[in-house]
Amino acid sequence: MRVTTVGVIGAGAMGSGIAALAASAGCRVTLLDIPGDADPAAPGRSAPAQRGVEKAAKAKPAAFMDAAAARRVRTGNTEDHLHLLADCDWIVEAIIEQPAPKQALFARLEALVKPSAIIASNTSGIPMAVLLEGRSAAFRRRFLGTHFFNPVRHMHLLELIPTAETDPAVLAAMRAFAERTLGKGTVVAKDVPGFIANRLGVYGMVATMRGMERHGLTIDEVDGLTGALIGRARTASFRTSDLSGLDVMAHVTAGIGAATGEDFALPAWVHEALVGAGKLGDKTGGGFYTKTPQGTLTFDWRTRTYAPQQRLEGGELGALIKLPVAQRLAAARQLPGAHGDFLRAHLVEVAHYTLQRAPELAHDIPAIDRAMEWGYGFEAGPFRVIDALGVEWLRSEFAARGLAEPSLLAQLAGTGARGFYRDGEVFGFDGAFHPVEPVPGRVSLAGLAAAGQVLADNGVSRLLDLGDGVACFEFRSKMNSLGQGVLEGLAAALETVDRLGYHGLVIGNEDPRAFSVGADLSAVAFGVSAGMWDELAESCKRFQDTVQAVRRASFPVVSATAGLVLGGGCEFSMHADAVQAHAETYMGLVEAGVGLLPGGGGTTELLFRFTTALAPYDDVDTFAAVARAFKLIAFATTSTSAAEARVLGLLRETDAISMNRDRHLADAKARVLALAPGYLPPPPRTIRALGREGLGNLHYALWAAQEAGQASAHDVRVGRAIAAVLCGGDGAPRMVTEQDILDLEREHFLSLLGTAETQARIAHTLKTGKPLRN
């Protein structure tokens, strides 16, 4: 049971997002919506579905990973084109959140879809049993809920909701497709209102607002307390609501409240002053927060007006946020004053509700934790938080606040255990401990380190044994920047892998933010301020030599990129034998932004890569390769996905993409093993450098940009340095080796570093995190 063709019904935010993700993954997609015109002959009859694709293409963050993926989506309407779904392997509806229209749609689908098709609903809370009323036994066997989270591309969670009648093979096929092809982390939820994540998330949001009112706090204060401090998303409570939409929050809370009979009513001021006034969050330009030219304003729930944002940061809280999450939580429960009173009450209320509802919502505790981590961006799921707070402390708090002890907590107490997790086991709803089921396909570097698989560790990097004769070199510096310690660690790792006879090496990490942001600019700035020019020249040469050592290694090296892959991080990746890129790879040679050029081999590699690609063609003008490389470097172009990095040429056609970050390192390891038999390092390359023939064209382009006010004098200086390297200097055309261009690259890098303007750009970037145009 394989899924390659997808049908989506409903072209709103969720439906178009699902279609965009499936198309980005390579599936052929049919997207239908209601007719846009009553006249069957009208040209705009399928306009709603087409508008859905267009909005997805323009969405921020982008719904498609590559603009070209939109061409894989065929649009139509549900009156004239439902038959287009007849050959689809998976059909999911994301129409209006009401039972009757969904039931009517399923009745029509049952008559035309193929017998092997998987049918699903993306409902956010309507029970599957209600949606299946009137459907045949055969239809019921291939039906389940597939609850995505918005934005679909970026939220890792997919809740799968099978019914008692769902064929296990259908669930297994959908899970495999979701994890492997769509890149999702799947959790099997029970068929109850809100499923797992929204049920707990909605309770938490309502409890947050009521606690804020009860303790007299502001929205700024509460967001400062309910974000990273307690292991939740940095967007905390109200900022998260602005991102998802206040109308969505109001709809979901009302729906789950009506379905469960629980009191999920939002405060009156939310409906009257925000939702009712069309202030729905980011989609309308403002909600709990609004941005103005003068800065961010925060809604004051007491006065129902906006006031300048007063962030709760720095001081004791700022210090706590830097601690590991378990230590943060232990310290957070001891906070003094109104902040401590609010936070203790909130943590206790959320823990109590979670303990009460968990067996009703999920089949096991890891499903609860993963749902909140993947769907709401929590650093630690609810039961991880409960363990960190301490079950005995919670038990005493429940008693002090008049809350009945949840039966799950009483069951745990009967075992004598101090928490729900212990030594690779987790407490089950049957009252016994069981091994924690691993996330499918995940290779955990932290787990390997805990198991004693560290081969070397110098504090800012380490080498681990992945098993099967493959090692992994892991950056561990701040944002995985590349300073001297990391370079020394990598050089030693290459020697160790060779000496111990490993099949090959993966360069990768588990950081959700960055593979590497590039060279350590603070060290560069220090060297400049201290006048250490000989040392800087030596460091630049060492950086180049380490990058080249990756290419010249006697074994395959695979770079496992994910998140930010900038500057030197991009250079290392481009010199690996292969890149196994996670789909969310944001890759670029960004040195021009700080007044430099890529000096670790990146300029050289793009020149040779693009020029060599033209070699099979007769009478081709190789200036096209120079211009292509120049544009990427001079504009510091950064991809918005791995797919776009491939289009830009930062990834090769032979480089592979992993949709699922959980499987990313395992995929990279498999790539090493595939390359290892009979491996030989790539031979040295030579090309014809254009010299002054190419320089003239690039110099004219830079002059024109300056004349048009698009480039400063220093931008032109940086551009001329890039041009000089890409053209092999200003002499006559000549054959050059990679080392010839590397030497030029290093020379011009150091020359630019000596300018006051570049030094000012570096200082400004280090201070503000933003580029300076000077």
pLDDT for 582-609, tens place per residue?
Answer: 999 999 999 999 999 999 999 999 999 9
Q: What is the 3-state secondary structure (H, E, C) of 395-463?
A: HHHHHHCCCCCCHHHHHHHHHCCCCCEECCEEECCCCCEEECCCCCCCCCHHHHHHCCCEEEECCCEEE
CA angle, 256 then 260 then 265, to 5°: 55
- Does residue 41 register a pLDDT over 70? no
Q: What's this model's pTM, rounded to 2 decimal places?
A: 0.94
The H or E element containing residue 735 is strand 734-737
Residue 60 banded pLDDT, cuts 50, 70, 90: confident
Cα 4 to chain center, whole Å?
Answer: 24
The per-residue pLDDT for 61 is 84
Cβ neighbours for 458, distance < 8 A, ≥ 6 positions apart? 485, 488, 489, 492
Work out the percent of the chain whose per-residue pLDDT is above 90. 94
Residue 729 banded pLDDT, cuts 50, 70, 90: very high
Q: Name the phi and psi angles at 491, rounded to 5.
A: -60, -40
Q: What is the mean pLDDT of residues 535-548?
A: 97
Residue 736 banded pLDDT, cuts 50, 70, 90: very high
- Does residue 622 register a pLDDT over 80? yes
The per-residue pLDDT for 276 is 96
The per-residue pLDDT for 42 is 64
Please give the DSSP secondary-structure letter assigned to residue 747: H
Tokens 């990973």 identify what position? Answer: 65
pLDDT digits (tens, 9 = 90+) for 228-253: 999 999 999 999 999 989 998 999 99
In Å, the largest CA–CA distance within the chain is 87
The per-residue pLDDT for 316 is 79
Q: What gap in Å lies between CA 545 and CA 214, rounded to an integer? A: 62
Torsional class of 313: left (φ above 0), alpha (ψ -120 to 50), beta (otherwise): beta
Please give the DSSP secondary-structure letter assigned to residue 519: B
Tokens 């230590």 identify what position? Answer: 327
Residues in the chain: 774
Please give the DSSP secondary-structure letter assigned to residue 304: T
Q: What is the mean pLDDT of residues 498-522?
A: 97
Render the burial of 442-476: b for 16+ CB within 10 Å, e for the rest. bbebeebeeeebebeeeebbbbbbbeebbbbbbbb
Span of 37-51, 440-454, 531-545, 626-640 with lowest mean pLDDT: 37-51
pLDDT digits (tens, 9 = 90+) for 331-383: 999 999 999 999 999 999 999 999 999 999 999 999 999 999 999 999 999 99
Contacts 24+ apart (CB under 8 A), 106-110: 106/131, 106/132, 106/135, 106/139, 106/143, 107/134, 107/135, 108/82, 109/82, 109/85, 110/135, 110/136, 110/139
Strands (E), 246-317: 289-292, 295-300, 305-308
Q: What is the mean pLDDT of residues 92-104?
A: 95
pLDDT digits (tens, 9 = 90+) for 138-155: 999 999 999 999 899 999
Reduced to 3 states (helix: H, G, I; strand: E, B; else coil), residue 1 is coil
The per-residue pLDDT for 1 is 78
> One-letter amino acid identity for 63?
A
Cα 441 to chain center, whole Å?
Answer: 18
Residue 273 banded pLDDT, cuts 50, 70, 90: very high
Residue 124 banded pLDDT, cuts 50, 70, 90: confident
pLDDT digits (tens, 9 = 90+) for 195-229: 999 999 999 999 999 999 999 999 999 999 999 99
| Mean per-residue pLDDT of the chain | 96
- Does residue 621 register a pLDDT over 90? yes
